[in-house]
């Protein structure tokens, strides 16, 4: 039986995906309306965040509050009136919130400003990345809406809405030009699942990975953006851990979805600059989904990811996810590579 909170989270992410699809289909129109190249993602981010807050509130599942990536301060600034107008229009035109009004949208976005202390409380709260993979979104490629419930510092529910990710990996990006994409969810101890948004497919299934054999060429899921990770060190770690397959390059937490469903074997992220702190909403749902699908996910030093430190993963260095066995070999390889790079 699904929990009410999981249903609320799935519905909230589905709403958000609806407006994101609409905005991504109108990139050029929105750019010319605001005279700002990256405005579509700004408009999509705020619209998505407002919808998730609205859905969680109306279903009574807001818990202690939501810690989200975006702050309404930008939208409130008089210089950004065109962005606010674009956001309200997108919400209405997409059908996601047909009677949206500017003040209500701002109020909903503001609900994402909860104190991260709620995430270590007994009641718990939510963390949201309204559009993860903003660069993919602007390229017309992969991105996802990422929502997780965190309680006492641990992720308990994770949902990823991936509007462009097909059920099968057809082509490098796995784009889904005809469909509405796929979604992934997990509850702690309840397993991982995936389903299609495409109405006609109606597919919904549990996903469970087996350990991979040591001779299996390990397929890395890596960022499209070269600056987001240390690719040189990553390649060296992969090489030392065993045979290497062709990497899958894909933006956003869609990488965790590929890992969970077996279209990739490794998630490996190393900070590209010293002191870079990863954000909780960039990992929380994806990590739980991969773990519940049977993968081990830690930081690159083998430590559990600590989602109770605030908005950032301050206590961790990078992320390493893989099926058991392969994870152990990668961890040993990472130790050697990081020691010699230090
Ligand atoms: P990905 O496609 O996995 O690189 O995911 C995009 C995420 O990368 C964004 O949500 C950012 O928070 C994050 N990001 C942005 N800049 C960096 C950076 N220099 N190093 C690591 N991650 C970054
Ligand atoms: Mg992000």
Residues 227-282: tens digit of each pLDDT: 999 999 999 999 999 999 999 999 999 999 999 999 999 999 999 998 999 999 99
57 has catalytic annotation: no
Q: Can you give 75-91 as a three-state secondary structure string?
A: HHCHHHHHHHHHHHHHH
Q: Give the position, in ligand 1's atom list, of the atom nearest the Cα of 225.
A: 4
Of 134, 182, 187, 229, catalytic: 134
Tokens for 334? 């990472």
Count CB atoms within 10 A of the CB of residue 189.
Answer: 7
Beta carbon of 249 within 6 Å of any ligand 1 atom? no
Shortest-distance Cα residue to atom 18 of ligand 1: 228
Shortest-distance Cα residue to atom 5 of ligand 1: 252
Sheet architecture: strand order including 154-162: 66-68, 125-132, 144-151, 154-162, 182-187, 191-196, 204-207
What's the rounded Cα separation, in Å, for the pair 108 and 102?
Answer: 10
* pLDDT for res 59: 96
- Over residues 13-26, the pLDDT tens digits come to 999 999 999 999 99
Beta carbon of 279 within 6 Å of any ligand 1 atom? yes
Shortest-distance Cα residue to atom 16 of ligand 1: 228
Torsion of CA 206, 298, 315, 150, to 10 degrees: 10
If you write DSSP's letter for every residue of 148-168 in order, what string do you get? Answer: EEEETTEEEEEEEEETTB-SS
What's the rounded Cα separation, in Å, for the pair 340 and 330?
Answer: 15
What's the rounded Cα separation, in Å, for the pair 229 and 225?
Answer: 8
Beta carbon of 252 within 6 Å of any ligand 1 atom? yes
- For 132, residues 6+ apart whose C-beta sits below 8 A from its C-beta are 143, 144, 145, 146, 252, 253, 281, 282
Beta carbon of 98 within 6 Å of any ligand 1 atom? no
Low-confidence ranges of the chain (pLDDT < 50): 1, 171-173
> For residue 309, how far is the Cα from the chain centroid?
19
What's the rounded Cα separation, in Å, for the pair 185 and 214?
Answer: 29
Task: Give the mutation target among 134, 136, 225 for probing the ligand 1 site: most ligand atoms within 8 A of CB.
Answer: 225
* pLDDT for res 88: 98
28 has catalytic annotation: no
* pLDDT for res 64: 97
How far away, in angstroms, is 340 Cα from ligand 2 center? 30
What's the rounded Cα separation, in Å, for the pair 333 and 329?
Answer: 6
* pLDDT for res 1: 47
* pLDDT for res 168: 77
* pLDDT for res 342: 81
Q: Give the position, in ligand 1's atom list, of the atom nearest the Cα of 132.
A: 10
Beta carbon of 318 within 6 Å of any ligand 1 atom? no
């Amino acid at each position: 039986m699904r929990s009410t909170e999981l249903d609320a989270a799935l519905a909230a992410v589905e709403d958000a995906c609806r407006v994101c699809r609409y905005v991504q289909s109108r990139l050029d129109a929105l750019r010319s309306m605001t005279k700002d190249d990256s405005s579509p993602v700004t408009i999509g981010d705020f619209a998505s965040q407002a919808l998730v807050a609205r859905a969680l509130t109306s279903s009574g599942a807001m818990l202690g509050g939501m810690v989200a990536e975006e702050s309404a301060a930008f939208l409130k600034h008089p210089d950004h009136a065109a962005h606010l107008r674009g956001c309200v229009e997108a919400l209405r035109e997409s059908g996601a919130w047909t009677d949206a009004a500017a003040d209500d949208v701002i109020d909903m976005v503001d609900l994402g400003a909860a104190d991260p202390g709620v995430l270590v409380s007994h009641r718990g709260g939510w963390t949201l990345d309204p559009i993860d993979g903003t660069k993919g979104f602007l390229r017309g490629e992969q991105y996802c809406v990422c929502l997780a419930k965190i309680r006492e510092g641990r992720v308990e529910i994770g949902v990823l809405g991936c509007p462009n990710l097909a059920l099968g990996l057809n082509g490098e990006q796995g784009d889904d030009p005809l469909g509405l994409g796929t979604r992934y969810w997990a509850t702690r101890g309840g397993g991982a699942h995936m389903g299609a948004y495409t109405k006609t497919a109606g597919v919904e299934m549990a996903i469970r990975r087996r350990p991979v054999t040591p001779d299996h060429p390990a397929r890395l899921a890596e960022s499209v953006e070269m600056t987001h990770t240390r690719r040189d060190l990553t390649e060296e770690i992969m090489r030392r851990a065993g045979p290497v397959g062709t990497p899958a390059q894909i933006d956003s937490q869609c990488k965790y979805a590929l890992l969970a469903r077996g279209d990739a074997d490794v998630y490996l992220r190393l900070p590209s600059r010293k002191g870079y702190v990863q954000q909780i909403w960039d990992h929380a749902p994806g990590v739980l989904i991969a773990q519940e699908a049977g993968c081990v996910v830690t930081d690159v030093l083998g430590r559990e990811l600590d989602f109770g430190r605030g908005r950032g993963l301050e206590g961790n260095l990078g992320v390493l996810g893989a099926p058991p066995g392969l994870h152990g070999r990668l961890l040993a390889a990472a130790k050697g590579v990081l020691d010699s790079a230090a």
